[in-house]
Amino acid sequence: MLATLRKAGSLARNASAGQKRFLSIHEYQSMGLLNSYHIPTPKSVPAKSPEEAYDVAKNFGTDQLVIKAQVLAGGRGKGKFDNGLQGGVHMVSSPEQAKDYASKMIGAKLITKQTGAAGRICNAVMLAERRQPKHEYYVAVLNDRASNGPVLVASAQGGMNIEEVAAKDPEAIITTSIPLQGLDKATALSVAEKLGFQGSAKDEAADIFINLYKIFKDKDATQIEINPLAETTDGAVLCMDAKFGFDDNADFRQKDVFALRDVSQEEPSEVEAAKANLNFIKLDGNVGCLVNGAGLAMATMDVLSLHGGQPANFLDVGGGATPETVKKAFELLLADPNVKCIFINIFGGIMRCDYIAEGVIKATKELGLTIPLVVRLKGTKEDEAKKMIADSGLKIIAFDGLDDAAERAVQLATQ
């Protein structure tokens, strides 16, 4: 159970850091999606300029509002903007106050525990009505490996770190498997009752659970996390905050969802890599890796770590790489100032080693490579590839063994 919750929490963290393979959307977009499935939330309206924030607040219908920076990262309330403004969530009571906060948030970078020191640009804010919770709950729908299907995860201890709740009090977590046909009303009511909902609130909570799964299934979601789900002092049951993750492999049939993607919240190098059909994730080390196949890429990173090195990235060029895509991969690696050595590890099955060699030679010449380059090529067209490298006259250090190659790459990166 705890592993399931950790997986759920890690999705949100990875999405915010850019190291992800799941689409994440902004809070105001999540609220709109929830409302489209008749799931109640506080009234929420986005604004993309201080003037727009002023107009939204002026015409909202109440002066008791909250303004939230729209940045794909957790911990916004405790974050700090690079211009000195403390906190990405503030109470506002007038249009003028909304405009003032928006002017300090929009265009600035919010730094939280999840963004790292670089922060994330804030391009919009969301103004929401203040609703006072009487009690806060946690609800999530996600895929669970243990049960081999979707589950509803719920707790009466919401509004806090659910992983800590699971660690300290596992009995506080209610996990319910969901059959393919969906969550039936009787099961949803049972979960609501276990959480402590009573009367009409129990029925409202059950309907929310049912509709959350409908979104999960209809939109190819990988995670829906509501924290908190609140029963307010006036008796309403509302989703106060929402985090969504969507399967990137479903983008071809979820055009409306993927149109919400905000690339300004992602690592620029990863966005550029995706355009070239390269699987790239930026890391913090100094050995740039170019590998074919996700499994070999992971093994390569492990071997580098075993020899005391730190990979600067995960880069899988796949089985259909061409000399042109190899060159693009080099450009991505060289754009990182932390990369002190490049390690190429290719096993030629579907991929031809001579294609890789051609791309390596081309990139080395055209990009004016000055850092050490270690290459290990095995498999299809291996001999031809090695001859191409030997005849190139370039300073490319070739190895047959993975351990030897990785050890040498680590040495060169630390010299």
H helix intervals, 169-251: 185-195, 199-218
- In the DSSP assignment, the letter for residue 219 is T
**Is residue 213 annotated as part of the catalytic site, yes or no?**
no
Query: CA torsion 260→262→266→270, rounded to 10°?
Result: 70
For residue 61, the one-letter residue type is G
C-beta of residue 377 within 8 angstroms of C-beta of residue 356 = yes
**DSSP annotation string for 302-343:** HHHHHTT--BSEEEE--TT--HHHHHHHHHHHHT-TT--EEE
Peptide bond into 228 cis (omega under 30): yes
Collect contacts of 30-35 with beta carbons under 8 A, ≥24 apart.
Answer: 30/242, 30/243, 30/244, 31/126, 31/128, 31/239, 31/242, 33/215, 33/219, 33/242, 33/244, 33/257, 34/215, 34/239, 34/242
Q: Which of 28, 101, 138, 355 is catalytic?
A: 138
Question: Which one from 27, 52, 204, 225 is the annotated catalytic residue?
Answer: 225
Confirm whether 54 is a catalytic residue.
no
230 close to 130: Cβ distance less than 8 angstroms: no
Point out the residues that are catalytic. 138, 225
